[in-house]
Amino acid sequence: MSKIKTRFAPSPTGRMHVGNLRTALYAYLIAKHEGGTFMLRIEDTDQERLVEGAVDIINRTLAGTGLIHDEGPDKDGGVGPYVQSDRVKQGIYMEYAKKLVAEGKAYYCFCDKERLASLHTKIDGTDKEVTIYDKHCLSLSKEEVEANLAAGKPFVIRQNNPTEGTTSFHDDIYGDITVDNSELDDMILIKSDGYPTYNFANVVDDHLMGITHVVRGNEYLSSTPKYNRLYEAFGWEIPVYIHCPLITDEEHKKLSKRSGHSSYEDLIEQGFLSDAIVNFMALLGWSPEDNTEIMSLSQLIEKFDWFSFLLSRLFGKSPRRSVGIRRPTSMGFPSVFRPDRPVGSGTPTGAD
């Protein structure tokens, strides 16, 4: 097997909530335990949600937690740029999207907002609406497509998914999963502004950057069959998937920056120690075989065996304490987590 390479690929849309931090931590630990490479990539394709200064927050958070990347925007490992907007300028995503179009595995779509709105359907028993695209533009002739492009008509590029048969994939936590192709929509690959969607960019970048293990939240399980179809369309090797169960709030809803859930910087401002936050994040979904609960980052690297992590998920082995973060002083942390240890200029050090 090739050397393990994982990535953390945050969007610069605000402070890093604890769910994103745990994803970064697990990706880091998986790579470092095996002597692999941990890469940072900035995914800024959603231009409307960008927050000024958010990239600095990402860098501060990783530095503050000790999750130091081996490759990234400031450490060229030969597969950059490491910021997706810079990759857009190089035409990387459009190049690969057009390859799919040429092979009939994707197509130009010129439908306007009014027509797309007419495709809205309600989910039975709910007030939620979904848009299921009907492949209308797939039937356009080559001449019609070229005429629309020459006229400057706005377009997106959609993946051409089959409507019959099944698609299967393997996840190291959830096992083999098969879905009916009738459930796969023709997702957008390139948006009308020329930027790729997350769903397309992450596949292209993970392949070109040599990512071997993709660590992310299990909300992406439903999209993974479409990712696999992209890998197969290009003839690329599919990475190892590790979809981690989500950290939820008191109402069992996914943590979200949009909903104001606690970020790493929020916790630091409340007086929690960085080492304590990292320690606690590691135990949200994993515990070492010896049930040690207080560990430094170097100890986490040593103990975070990938096989034991899978066992903890498959057979329900989990930390005895899994809810509520308590003050480091009340958890009896050893000297490495002492409240009198500085954690940054002007930052509370853990005292109540």
Average pLDDT over residues 152-174: 96
The alpha-helical segments, DSSP class H, found in 51-172 are 54-65, 84-89, 92-102, 113-117, 142-150
Average pLDDT over residues 21-33: 96
Q: What is the mean pLDDT of the chain?
A: 85
Is pLDDT of 332 > 60? no
Is pLDDT of 345 > 50? no
Average pLDDT over residues 308-333: 41
Is pLDDT of 329 > 70? no
What would the two tokens of residue 290 be? 């010896």
CA 327 to CA 349: how far, in whole Å?
Answer: 11
Is pLDDT of 18 > 90? no
Of 206, 124, 198, 116, nearest to 154 by C-alpha is 116
**What is the pLDDT confidence band of residue 313, given thresholds at 50, 70 and 90?**
low
Residue 220 burial by CB count (10 A; 0-12/13-18/19+): exposed, middle or buried? middle
Q: Which residues in 57-91 are b (16+ Cβ under 10 Å) and which e?
A: bbbbbbebbbbebebbbeeeeeebbbbbeebbeee
Q: Which amino acid makes up residue 143?
A: E
Q: Tens digits of per-residue pLDDT, 179-236?
A: 999 999 999 999 999 999 999 999 999 999 999 999 998 999 999 999 999 999 999 9
- pTM exceeds 0.75, yes or no: yes
The pLDDT value recorded for residue 254 is 63
Of 184, 254, 249, nearest to 216 by C-alpha is 254
Poorest-confidence range of 99-108, 233-242, 334-343?
334-343
Average pLDDT over residues 241-259: 72
191 is annotated as an active-site residue: no
CA 289 to CA 187: how far, in whole Å?
Answer: 42
Poorest-confidence range of 107-111, 160-164, 279-283?
279-283
Say which of 5, 226, 257, 303 is annotated catalytic: 257
CA end-to-end distance (rounded Å), the chain: 49
Distances (CA, A) of 250 to 22, 129, 253, 261, 286: 18, 26, 7, 11, 20
Contact 274, 352 (CB under 8 A): no
**What is the pLDDT confidence band of residue 319, given thresholds at 50, 70 and 90?**
very low
The dihedral built from the CA positions of residue 33, 21, 40 and 232, taken in this order, carries a sign that is positive
The pLDDT value recorded for residue 309 is 64
